């Protein structure tokens, strides 16, 4: 059984989270510059067993897709082309940034640390992954 990798895709930065090999826990992995994402994924997928990639699906409150889909769709097309054997699934990412901030506060993180957008991005990816894992149960 391989890991599930989650992506909170952003125009500048992308947060990543991954399950353990048994898919019991979701863990924040890192935040990377989006321009470096495909190279990083190629390296990671070569080294680690990943059975599926989950990407946040940005929607508005009315359920319509957000403007962010204009740059997520091309990324997904490139991903499918470069990694045709690795399924990529979209999962609702509404409120993940809010939940990430809440988790940081609840975890006792200082205000200055909570302003680190890179930390928010990888925690948001973890929340996407946790939600996806819950939906599978």
pLDDT tens digit sequence for 58-76: 877 777 877 888 999 999 9
Residue pair 33/13 in contact by the 8 Å Cβ criterion: yes
pLDDT band at 121 (very low <50, low <70, confident <90, very high): confident
pLDDT exceeds 60 at position 113? no
Supply the pLDDT for residue 108. Answer: 64
Q: Is 38 exposed, middle or buried (0-12, 13-18, 19+ CB in 10 A)?
A: middle
pTM of the entire structure? 0.84
Tokens of 95: 């409120």
Across 84-93, average pLDDT: 92
Question: Which residues, in sequence order, are CB contacts of 47 under 8 Å at separation 6+?
Answer: none
- Residue ranges and CATH numbers for the domains of the chain are 3-136 (3.30.420.140)
pLDDT tens digit sequence for 7-55: 999 999 999 999 999 999 999 999 999 999 999 999 999 999 999 999 9
């Amino acid at each position: 059984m391989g890991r599930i990798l989650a992506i909170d895709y952003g125009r500048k930065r992308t947060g990543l989270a991954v399950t353990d090999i048994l898919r019991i826990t979701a863990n924040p992995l890192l935040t990377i510059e989006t321009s470096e994402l495909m190279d990083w994924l190629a390296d990671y997928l070569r080294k680690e067993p990943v059975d599926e990639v989950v990407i946040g699906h940005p929607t508005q409150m009315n359920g319509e897709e957000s403007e962010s889909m204009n740059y997520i769709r091309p990324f997904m097309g490139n991903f499918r082309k470069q990694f045709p054997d690795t399924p990529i699934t979209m999962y609702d990412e509404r409120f993940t940034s809010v939940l990430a901030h809440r988790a940081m506060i609840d975890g006792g993180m200082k205000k200055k640390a909570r302003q680190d957008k890179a930390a928010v991005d990888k925690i948001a990816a973890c929340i996407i992954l946790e939600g996806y894992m819950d939906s599978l149960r």
